[in-house]
Structure 1
């Protein structure tokens, strides 16, 4: 005759078996749910990399406020020269620079694509940015989005060094600085696969000739797929803490103390294409400055947007060319 104890043992054994199956099933489901995100490049591809910044700045001097709005955008071309051992060599060329400012009701606009003769501050911008349109350099980036090397041709470096006033910018165009600047707008992905809610951290240190030593600690969180303009993209949000030298003083004669700075952003990664689709980072900064013996307090509220799109060959032109050659 079966006893209550034997029934209990069988029931406990049944529960253990059910729990084991459930654990295996949950583990399998978790593994399936994880998504490994990687950058993908193929030799011969061409991309457009555009970064835009809009900012509202309020400067207070002796209890008097002055508001400034500014916007600029830099459009660059990227050609995939080679892909080897999961590292892509990307040749970057400067295509276009646009800038617009409004200070005390006065507007100023500049565009490297414009044929208009520049005067005043526009002429200064022209002397600075037009030579950059002839500049090229190479970024080497692995499939996680980490910049492993930057190669600036000797002719480009000589051109930069010969530009008027460039000596004041110190290390801005050194190899290390170019590597830091090239990382802006990219997205470094974790080694492991991601489930919704997973997070990872990235830390970097930059020696900026204007703002001094900066330490950035970024915290990323994967929020899963989202439909954006008819495409399924992977949403990643970021919060960043920035540390600056307590008192900044540079060769431009600017003294600065950053009272507060916050950055937060959203990245949309195209897993199928293997590249960042777009990102938007919001910046807020409050600082005390001194320039030319004049003290001021500055509050800045801005947004930096980045888009990366592939430039497809014009098939219509190719078809037209083949027709003409046949005739």
Structure 2
């Protein structure tokens, strides 16, 4: 039907009704991602892990640092505000240290041939770097579709223990990992909470289930900009697998996300998770303590950077 068939009064009523529905009440904030075709963001994600494992009378200490650089580029936005974007890993750095010193060190930008354990993982990293993932993400931040670079699943399966990755490389597993923060459909006020759940299916080691409770704290000024602060708490639970049983005896997980609602993107996030577990593998008992610290920074790519200048 042509718009010319509507009277000015009809259009005014429709406009008032739309505004009444879409504008949050005073004190409420509608959190949402915003996408524009050609928009690019650079993400740096870092994870530091310390792990202590006790097997019989032997204690093994391991530390690991993982840093990943990613480039997000929006290639299309549909009439529902759902964006199609490429997520390209541009660099991977990883270092693992054990009781005997450095067990593995890898940098995709080093230009040197990987040695030792790094050489074993290199095919997997090679199938990830500069090979775009394609995702579709809605305005709430929920990933509705995800495809992986060709050859990645095959490279992972060839690694020792790779067959125990379960659904980590399935569409559902990747969607869970790709979501930074998912918002409610309705506006929120300071103190409001919502919950997200994810599961990594693994019949051998047992399914890992994580429940994340997010709490909207409210606006906070950082570096001269008003950002929205969201705190989160995480709780893990493991189902018994075919060859392993993991019992969590103590855990804590918390973090904070800062979101620029005016620009529709997150700026920084940080989190800390500690966990004590009792693990039974084919009749062998062991205790494991783990501390994982994560951080992420997202910055827009300026037009000069987009043009490669």
TM-score, length basis structure 2 = 0.81
Secondary structure of 1:188 counterpart: coil
Contact 1:172 1:209 in 2 (8 A): no
Determine whether 1:275 maps to 2:244: no
Give me the whole-angstrom Cα distance separating, in 1, the residues matched to 2:167 and 2:47: 23
Aligned pairs (5 A) from 1:58-73:
58-73=52-67
Q: Does 1:190 align with 2:184?
A: yes
**1:245-264 mapped onto 2 (5 Å cutoff):** 245=239, 247-249=240-242, 256-264=246-254
Query: Any stretches of 5+ residues in structure 2 without a counterpart?
Result: 1-23
> 8 Å contact 2:164–2:205 — kept in the other structure?
no
**Equivalent residue for 1:240, pick from 213, 234, 252:** 234
SS at match of 1:143: coil
* CA positional deviation for 1:160: 2.9
- Bigger drift between 288-297 and 37-46 goes to 288-297
C-alpha separation in 1, matches of 2:202 and 2:71 = 25
CA distance in 1, matches of 2:211, 2:28: 25
Indicate the SS of the match to 1:33. Answer: coil
Partner SS, residue 125 of structure 1: helix
Moved more, 306-315 or 78-87: 306-315
1:101 is displaced (CA, Å) by 1.8
> Does residue 128 of structure 2 align to residue 132 of structure 1?
yes
Aligned equivalents of 2:306, 2:279: Cα separation in 1: 55
Equivalent-residue separation in structure 2 for 1:76 and 1:210 (angstroms): 31
Counterpart-to-counterpart distance in 2, 1:315 and 1:242: 40
Greater shift in the superposed pair: 308-317 or 77-86: 308-317
The structure with more helix, counted as a fraction of residues: 1
In structure 2, relative to structure 1, the CA distance for the partners of 1:209 and 1:194 (3 Å cut) is same
- Residue correspondence of structure 1 range 75-154 to structure 2 within 5 A: 75-84=69-78, 85-107=80-102, 108-152=104-148
Q: What is the TM-score of this pair, normalised by structure 1?
A: 0.77
Deviates more, 1:91-100 or 1:201-210: 201-210
Tell me the CA shift for residue 88 of structure 1. 0.8
Does the Cα contact within 8 Å between 1:93 and 1:137 map onto a contact in 2? yes
Output one character per residue of 1:52-86: Cα deviation in whole Å (capped at 9) or x when no partner.
11111111122332322211022221110111111
CA contact (8 A) 2:218 2:228 kept: yes
* Residues 1:220 and 2:229 are matched in the alignment: no
Which structure has the bigger radius of gyration?
Answer: 1
Residue 219 (structure 2) pairs with residue 229 (structure 1)? no
The superposition leaves residues 13-69 of structure 1 with CA deviations (integer Å, 9 ceiling, x where unpaired) of xxxxxxxxxxxxxxxxx9322121110010011112332111111111223323222
Q: Indicate yes or no: 2:38 matched with 1:38.
A: no
Question: Residue 248 of structure 1 aligns to a residue in which SS?
Answer: coil
Measured after TM superposition, the shift of residue 173 of structure 1 is: 1.6
Q: Quick one: distance in 2 between partners of 1:158 and 1:115?
A: 22
**1:54 maps onto 2:45 in alignment:** no
Q: Which moved more, 1:94-103 or 1:124-133?
A: 124-133
Partner of 2:128: helix, strand, or coil?
A: helix
